[in-house]
Each structure stands twice: as C-alpha cells, then as structure tokens.
Amino acid sequence: MGTYEIKKTKSGKFMWNLKAGNHEVILSSQMYKSKASAKKGIASVMKNSSNAERFELKMSKNKKPFFVLKAPNGQAVGKSELYETQRSCDNGVKSVAKNGPTSKIKDLTI
C-alpha cells in the first residue's frame, strides 16, 4: 500500500504527496495554509480515489497527459505528474485508485 507524506514548504505552507509502494510520487496536493487543511485533503483522497468518476484526464500545453482527482464538489484535491504516454497516465490512475485508500500517513513536519 501507499503512504501519504505531509511536508511544510519554505513559504510555511503545507502540502502532501501520495507515494506508491515503490516510493514513487503518484499524486500531489495544492498548498494549504494549515496542516489540518492538508489532512482534510488526504481524507478526501482516501474517500474519492476508489471512484473512477472522480478522475479527470487532461492534456498539458506541451501535449503530455496527466490527471486530476476531484472531490464530489468538483474541487481538485490532487494532481499527477506529466506522463510521456496515455498508457502510463492510465497506469497512474490505477495506482492512485489502489494506493489512495491507505491510512498510512508520515508527518515530515515534526
């Protein structure tokens, strides 16, 4: 299973990464003003990552596929990296669906 890692940025904001079992980052959050808000974002991923309808596939300006995981209200809660192929992007979605429900969280701010 995957692991969420909460970090504090140089600007004092908080963010998290979801890492797969191989320790690769498969989903990243936006910046949050508080750690509590970052934890709410993680809870949303835990709840929504197993629902295929919550993933929105997109294409970057330089034609690289990526995806966004959205909450039921349509707000983005996590974004993937840019992929070289659509197939690898699809595999990224599968990995988030598999690893997202984990409750394992490492708080790197302590």
| CATH code, domain with 76 | 2.30.29.80
Report the mean per-residue pLDDT for the chain: 97
| Domain tally, the chain | 1
For tokens 């969280």, what's the residue? 105
Residue 104 has pLDDT above 90, yes or no: yes
Q: Mind listing the pLDDT tens digit for each residue in 15-52?
A: 999 999 999 999 999 999 999 999 999 999 999 999 99
Q: Mind listing the pLDDT tens digit for each residue in 88-101?
A: 999 999 999 999 99
Residues 6+ apart with CB under 8 A from 23: none
Within-domain flag for 107 = no
Within-domain flag for 51 = yes
Percent of the chain exceeding pLDDT 90 equals 98
pLDDT at 63: 97
pLDDT at 55: 98
Within-domain flag for 105 = no
Within-domain flag for 70 = yes
- Per DSSP, the residues of the chain read --EEEEEE-TTS-EEEEEE-TTS-EEEE---BSSHHHHHHHHHHHHHHTT-GGGEEEEE-TTS-EEEEEE-TTS-EEEE----SSHHHHHHHHHHHHHHTT---EEETT-
pLDDT at 1: 82
pTM of the model: 0.95
Within-domain flag for 110 = no
Range of the domain at 16: 3-100
